[in-house]
Amino acid sequence: MTNGPVAGASSLFEALYGDENAVVRALRAGASAESADEEGTTALYLASVQDLPNAVRLLLAAGADPNRASGPGAGDLPLCGAACGGHVEAVEALLSAGAEPDLSEEFGFTALRWAAGLGHARVAEALLAHGADPDLTGPRGEVPLVVAARRGSVHTVRALLRHGARDLSPALEEARRMLTLDAEQELRASLRRSYGDEGHGSQVHRDPVDGGVTVTVELLRDGQPFASQDLQTGHGAIATLLENELGLRAPFEELAVRALRGGDPGLDNWLVAVGTLWLRGDEETFQAAAAWTAGEDPLRQAFGVDVLARLGFRTGGRPFAERAIPLLRELTRSAAPAPADAAARALAQYERDGTDGGSPGVD
């Protein structure tokens, strides 16, 4: 591409792969913001799916219709394309220019359905803030909350709950079902159904994302990935959040199992379970937490310590301080590093004013 004058649809499509100055030059030279290629793909759709937010803004300012369908059969929408890719800036630009958040493309997919199914929580939040219906069903008749629960995206579930999603019981059932499954095995089975099992190699990635872990299974051909699927693993936290919303009380041992499933005190599965037990603030929970701290598993000990750290504080005091503090002091001296460090943090919490904080992950 040269720096000289450009004109026409082809020049505009070329300009998208340059910078915004190239797009401006193409538009000024006469290219229409509504340009489409020979397959019917619009420039706005391409900019949206390629995560080119500056180009999206320029095309919209030049008159591109944010609701114009694109592609063969006019089956694709710019907002859905941007949502599918998790492109928050492009989504926000389209919404600000009048994109209808609940408009569906071919096969009945809306932008929120894409975001919920792929765990793009920030996109879901933007769509909901612009009026997307949190209960609008998708192509299989499922509401976004059920889809997000299956995906394991805690942040997406929280966004839907904040914006009034109502079908909590089916979503809870789905989260509990997913807790009985192994994410890696489920992904492998799904890939086999799509691509067969003819000696493909595979590899697995586990990446920390948004307070959880995303498990990705890739199929390999000649050592190179050619297909992949992924899931997030926040199903324990999601089940607990939905139970809290429904006024259901999961057994404290079940909450411990959910927390320990990921093996990381920094994950939502752990934090939501701890926060839920804090709010109970009862003798039964104290006894369970004390028993966990006396066990031999360092991770379970650390979980018990975290529960004791603010147990019952929201009731207007520190009802278990007299018994919890000696336990915590003993653990700082005799426990493995993980529970000892957790106990030191818990003691520091008791030394501070313990009446003004909230519970992690449950508000």
Judge whether 254 lies within some domain. no
Question: Where among 145, 167, 189 does a domain terminate?
Answer: 167
Distance CA(341)–CA(332), nearest Å, equals 7
Nearest C-alpha neighbor of 195 from the set 221, 167, 216: 221
SS3 label, residue 308? helix
**23/161 same-domain check:** yes
Judge whether 219 lies within some domain. no
Judge whether 194 lies within some domain. no
User: What was the pLDDT predicted at 191?
Assistant: 95
Question: Where among 167, 198, 227 does a domain terminate?
Answer: 167
**47/160 same-domain check:** yes
Judge whether 232 lies within some domain. no
Judge whether 135 lies within some domain. yes
Distance CA(288)–CA(276), nearest Å, equals 14
User: What was the pLDDT predicted at 361?
Assistant: 58
**161/289 same-domain check:** no
User: What was the pLDDT predicted at 356?
Assistant: 42
User: What was the pLDDT predicted at 314?
Assistant: 78
Distance CA(213)–CA(220), nearest Å, equals 22
* Residue 145 and residue 169 in contact, taking contact as beta carbons nearer than 8 Å: no
Please give the structure tokens belonging to residue 311.
């147990």
**147/19 same-domain check:** yes
pLDDT in tens, the chain (363 residues): 333 333 456 789 999 988 889 999 999 999 999 999 999 999 999 999 999 999 999 999 999 999 999 998 889 999 999 999 999 999 999 999 999 999 999 889 999 999 999 999 999 999 999 999 999 999 999 999 999 999 999 999 999 999 999 999 999 999 999 999 999 999 999 999 999 977 789 999 999 988 899 999 999 998 999 999 999 999 999 999 999 999 999 999 999 999 999 889 999 999 999 999 999 999 999 999 999 999 999 999 999 999 999 999 876 688 999 999 999 999 999 999 999 999 999 999 898 854 444 455 565
68: domain CATH number is 1.25.40.20
Give the number of domains in the chain: 2
Judge whether 284 lies within some domain. yes
Exposure letters 245-281 (e unless 16+ CB within 10 A, then b):
eeeeebebebbbebbbbbebbebbbbbbbbbbbbbbb
User: What was the pLDDT predicted at 198?
Assistant: 76
Q: Which amino acid is at 344?
A: A
Distance CA(235)–CA(148), nearest Å, equals 10
Note down the domain range covering 43: 8-167
Full-model pTM: 0.92
Judge whether 339 lies within some domain. yes
Distance, CA of 359 to chain centre: 20
Distance CA(85)–CA(58), nearest Å, equals 20
Judge whether 175 lies within some domain. no
Question: Where among 152, 167, 182 does a domain terminate?
Answer: 167
User: What was the pLDDT predicted at 362?
Assistant: 65
288-294 LR contacts (CB < 8 Å, sep 24+): 288/252, 288/253, 288/256, 290/323, 290/324, 290/327, 292/256, 293/327, 293/331, 293/335, 293/339
Distance CA(278)–CA(286), nearest Å, equals 9
